[in-house]
């Protein structure tokens, strides 16, 4: 655990010094950290997860955004038992599933971050990493 914290701190220092990115800590309840060189982020409070039908329900949510969310939701339901496993090296057989707060999967979290922060930024070429997952999650946005 200590090694992970040291590596994380080192990576953030490299991103800030070598890549000229700025670390922005979003208060509890927002649930994400955004690194942005231009400070053109928007603070969006993370909403509680609730089930909605994918049919037109009169919301102001764009259809493309809803379709992406629904597609990701369907894909991750199949793999829900397999993502985000943590292995305790001292107890080799013990596995614990860790969920991303208020997101059902790493893919849903990536779509949330994209829709609420990155898509609204002025940047043209964007790459983002959610390093707490412990694996790889690729999402077509």
Residues marked active site are found at 132
Q: Which residues of 31-43 are buried (b: 16+ CB within 10 A; e: fewer)?
A: bbebebeeeebee
CA distances from 93 to 44, 85, 96, 135 (A): 40, 12, 10, 19
Other Cβ atoms closer than 10 A to 128: 13
């Amino acid at each position: 655990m200590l090694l992970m914290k040291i590596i994380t701190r080192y990576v953030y220092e490299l991103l800030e010094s070598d890549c000229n990115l700025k670390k922005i800590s979003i208060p509890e309840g927002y649930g994400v950290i955004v690194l942005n060189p231009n400070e053109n982020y928007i603070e969006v409070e993370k909403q509680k997860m609730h089930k909605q039908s994918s049919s037109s329900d009169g919301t102001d949510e764009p259809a493309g955004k809803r379709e992406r969310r629904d597609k990701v939701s369907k894909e991750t339901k199949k793999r829900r038992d397999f993502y985000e496993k943590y292995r305790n090296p001292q107890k080799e057989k013990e596995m614990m599933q860790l969920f991303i707060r208020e997101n059902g999967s790493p893919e849903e979290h990536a779509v949330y971050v994209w829709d609420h922060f990155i898509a609204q930024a002025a940047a043209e070429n964007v790459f983002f990493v959610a390093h707490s997952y412990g694996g790889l999650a690729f999402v077509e946005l």
